[in-house]
Structure formats: structure tokens, C-alpha cells
Amino acid sequence: MAKKRPTPTARKPKVKLTPRDKKTMARLTGLADRVVKAASANRDPYVDIPSRTLSNIRYSPRKRILEMGNNKNRRQLFDLSQAKAYMRTVLVASGCKQLLDQGKTTSLRGLYYMLKHTIEGAKENTFEEQGESDTIIEDVEVLLGSIREELHLYAKAAGNLVGNIVLLDKGDTIDCARMGSGGYGIPSIVEPNVIELDRKKCGAKFILHVEKDTVWQRFNEDRFWEKHDCLLTHGGGQPPRGVRRLLYRMHNELKLPVYCLLDNDPWGYYIYSVLKQGSINLAFESQRMAIPEAKYLGLRSIDYDRCELSDSAVIALNDNDRKRAKQIAKYPWFEKKRPWQAEISKMLKNDFKLEVESLISKDISYVTEVYVPERLAAKDWLD
């Protein structure tokens, strides 16, 4: 009986790397080359990872953003206390190279499962929990100087956009003025090879970023963006990196001012701080995410009196709120600004906080028809 010939395996077409992918690939292969070079010379392979600690973060008054300092932590293969972290670092880099080779993207959890396995000859897994791989991913980002989106990794998408702008999303034309009640869902990866922006296809004059989707829905239903020629975005609370990166790109590439409507509480102040100066954890990428020119439009500590709100609209501060407010008051970018010091002091003196939704106690559309239009017309904001 004649033997069956094996079915030929279909050859996968070679993935064409974008210029950005080529730069990222060069950094990944450069890391691998250094490992091979050290091993060939019988030297201890190591990586020097910039420290992501508070002590290694500084505020640049000139650039008005947070920057990472020069401190680094050496991670060596032949040091028993560092060997596991070193091998995990190389493993994550290898997984990212695989994604680029295949022209695929995956979630942070997807990469965790890609790389999780029991080490041969041992009873130990490469990773036990996703948090372990997530930390290493952040290490690889700062080690290579590449954000995770460039490593073909994404997190859960959160945030929406509506307004007079037409953009391309992976070649598909998206008219953000015709996206219905849900708006355009902002993806996790918004780099130029995915999202293409064109100033000629944007009729908006500014961006209004609100904290929560519930507030965003009110502005969208009232078609605030249409009446005031703006783009309307939200980040579901603390905005994810995709939202921050897209806001940065629209601000810089489309020359649109950014105004933030956030809760009058320490967490609203912190969200504004992150949008404006960057975050400690992502200080190495502030130059590609932070928007120093962003303005804080409200809510303000004076709004209880100014808007004649009722006592039912206020929420008492707790000890954690007070502690956080005092910490934020000492941020270098707020410390020497009298308006911000007065704002935070007023909130502490009030001993209560206000959510944007509290304005509904005046009228269902008070925030869209009165509050924000008046603040914009008077240029009444904090910087």
C-alpha cells in the first residue's frame, strides 16, 4: 500500500513591518544580541533597567512634565536573587518579538498566557499571576524605550469620542459625528499606523474631556459637541493610556486646546495632574502623553456657593480624601500656583467634595447649557 504523502504546510506570508515596528524590532534584537555577546565571552549577562521609583522621577519646570531620572537597577543572570527577574525580562522581550514577527497584537493577559509554562526539569512556572508579567512588561518598556503599544500589546479599552472629525482606523473611515448614542470607542492602540488624523477633516475648535461616561452621555445626548464645535471624550474615570495618547495626538497634531471637566475632589485633581504632567509610573513616556497646556474647567470648590447648590449635592470628605488633597497640594506643579492652592484649601475648608453630576440638582442639562458655556466664555479655568 502506497504511503500517503504529508500535506504540505501552507507557508505564511512574510509580515511587512512598519517603520515604527522596524525600530522596535531593532531594539528587541539588540537586547538579544547583547545577551549572546555576553554569553559568548563567558561574561554574566545583565540588563540595566531605569528605576521607576518616586525617587527617580523629577518635574521639569521648563517642559512642564514629569521625567525619569538616570538611576538604574542592574538585573543579572548569575545572581540568584535576580536570575528569575532577568529570565522573565528576556522571556517577555521574546514574546513581544514573536508578536511583531507575526504582525499580531494581544492583550496583557494574552501575553501572560503565551509565556506562562512550567520550566523543564523544575516544578516552577515562569509566571504564577498576571501581575508578575505586567510588572515585567513595564520594565521592558523602559528598558527598550518603547511603549507597550509599540510592542503590540494592548489593555482593556475604555473611553469614547464624539464630534466633528473623520479619522481612519486601520484604513476604515470613521465619522465621529455619526456614531449614534455610543460614540466612537477609543481603542487601546492609537498610534499613527492604526489611527490616522487629518486636520482638514476636523471641524472642531477644542476638546472637552469629561471624567465619566455618565457625564459624557449627558453632553452627547444634548449634542453639546455640535452646538459648540468641539470633540467630546471621556476616559471612564482615570483615563487609560489609549485615551491619553489620543488626546495628546489630537492636541499636538490637530492643534486643539484641551479642557477637562472633572469632579471637585482629590481624585479629579489627580486625573487632571496625570493628563497635564504625566504619571510617575509612565514618566518615561510623558513626552508622548502629557499635555502641559491642558486646562481644568471644573468642578470647583466655589461652585457650591456660585451655583447655589443644595446640601444634598455634597459628599463629606473622609480621612483618605484629606490626606490625598494635602499630597496633591505639594506637587511641584501645583505648589507655587496660588489659584490651585486656594482651590485645594477651599475644598478642605468646605470639608466636602462635589461630583459633576451634582449639577443635575439644578437642572438635568444645567452642566451642558449653563455651567460649561459660562466657564468657557469667561475663560474661567485653572492651569
Q: List helix spans (H) across 16-129.
A: 19-40, 83-102, 108-115
* Rg, the chain, Cα only: 24
* CA distances for 178 relative to 18, 150, 248, 292, 333, angstroms: 30, 30, 23, 31, 39
Q: Note if 331 is an active site residue.
A: no
72: enclosing H helix or E strand? strand 72-76
Distance CA 311, CA 73 (A): 52
235/190 Cα distance (integer angstroms): 14
Report the C-alpha gap between 365 and 371 in whole angstroms.
9
Nearest residue to 119 via CA among 82, 81, 87, 90: 87
User: Kind and range of the H or E element at 46?
Assistant: strand 46-50
**Element of type H or E holding 245:** helix 241-253
Output the CA angle 332-337-343, nearest 5 degrees. Answer: 110
Q: Which one from 59, 86, 113, 154 is the annotated catalytic residue?
A: 113
For cell 469614547, name the residue.
Answer: 160
Phi, psi of 74, deg, nearest 5 = -85, 130
Residue 161 identity: L
Amino acid at the residue 77:
L
Report strand pairing: 195-196 vs 166-169. antiparallel
Residue 284 half-sphere exposure toward CB, CA atoms < 13 A: 21
Q: What is the rounded distance in angstroms from the CA atom of residue 39 to the CA atom of residue 266? A: 51
Distance separating alpha carbons of residues 358 and 353, to the nearest angstrom? 10
* Length of the chain, in residues: 383
Quote the CA–CA distance of 371 and 116 in Å, as a whole number.
Answer: 51
> Which residues are part of the catalytic machinery?
113
